[in-house]
Amino acid sequence: MYSREIDEQALTLSASGWTYRNTFVLYDYETESLWYHLEGTDGLTCISGTFKDRVLPEFQSTFTRWNRWVAEHPDSKFLKY
């Protein structure tokens, strides 16, 4: 999961429809820039557009199962739609 804020501007990121090395390339609607997770970086790198060569940082996250998560964080809630 990545931040979507850069220079105090929130970007709306979406799939561009393209892939590179089996990974989705993202697109932001505000500047029409393309974003990709480049090896050796800690986030999404702008590969084309207004923010070329700038990086949106990756948030720290955990990959786990719900039963393990709720056992460790019993006050957790989820949204059911």
Q: What is the pLDDT of residue 53?
A: 94
User: What tens digit of pLDDT does each residue of 18-64 get?
Assistant: 988 888 999 999 999 999 988 777 889 999 999 999 999 999 888 99
38 in any annotated domain: yes
The total number of structural domains that make up the chain: 1
∠ CA(70), CA(73), CA(76), 5° rounding?
A: 75
80 within domain boundaries: no
Angle at the Cα of 53 from the Cα atoms of 51 and 56, rounded to 5 degrees: 70
Please answer whether residues 46 and 53 qualify as being in contact, where contact means their C-beta atoms are separated by less than 8 angstroms: yes
Contact 16, 34 (CB under 8 A): yes
Instruction: Pull the structure tokens for residue 67.
Output: 């039963």
Residues of the domain holding 48: 5-72
Q: Which has the higher per-residue pLDDT, 9 or 39?
A: 9
In a domain, 10, yes or no: yes
How would you classify residue 8: left for phi > 0, otherwise alpha for psi between -120 and 50, otherwise beta? left
pLDDT higher than 90, residue 79: no
Classify residue 81: in a domain, yes or no: no
Residue 7 confidence (pLDDT):
95
Q: State how far the Cα of 54 lies from the Cα of 46, in Å rounded to an integer.
A: 6
pTM listed for this prediction = 0.73
Question: What's the pLDDT score for residue 81?
Answer: 78
pLDDT on residue 15: 93
Has residue 78 been placed in a domain? no
